[in-house]
Amino acid sequence: MPKINFKINIKGVRRAITKIFWLLGRRAFVGFLIFFFIGLFIGGVIFYYYGFLVVVREPEIRPYEVRLDDQLYQQFLESYRQRRVSFDNAGFKLYFNPFFHSNIK
């Protein structure tokens, strides 16, 4: 069986790429159009996949209702009440406002 060699000629690829870029550089308008249409095509493909192919599904209805642990809920409410009371009872210090002077005539 003959051995297949997939060696890529890097110098040839580099030469071809530089020729393509020189061609696009000499003809800037054509290069702009090519890149514009490539971008337009890629944008269209992305819009098609994420705009038209999205299937809207109804959310699953759970066959059981969600129940909360009453004792845990009461503990949460008590801690919330304690925080609220401590926040309401906290003393607030009034600071001097350097931008407002009441003694200016």
Residue-wise pLDDT for 32-71, tens only, equals 998 899 999 999 999 888 877 776 667 677 777 777 889 9
Range(s) of the domain holding residue 18: 10-52
The tally of domains found in the chain comes to 1
- Whether residue 27 lies inside any domain: the answer is yes
CA 26 distance to own-chain centroid: 38
Q: Is the pLDDT of residue 76 over 90?
A: yes
- Whether residue 73 lies inside any domain: the answer is no
CB atoms near residue 24 (< 10 Å) = 15
Report the C-alpha gap between 53 and 23 in whole angstroms. 38
Quick one: DSSP state of residue 67?
Answer: -
Q: Is the pLDDT of residue 82 over 90?
A: yes
- Whether residue 104 lies inside any domain: the answer is no
The pLDDT-based confidence of 79 (bands split at 50, 70, 90) is: very high
- Whether residue 3 lies inside any domain: the answer is no
Residue 95 CB-density burial (10 A; 0-12 exposed, 13-18 middle, 19+ buried): exposed
- Whether residue 90 lies inside any domain: the answer is no
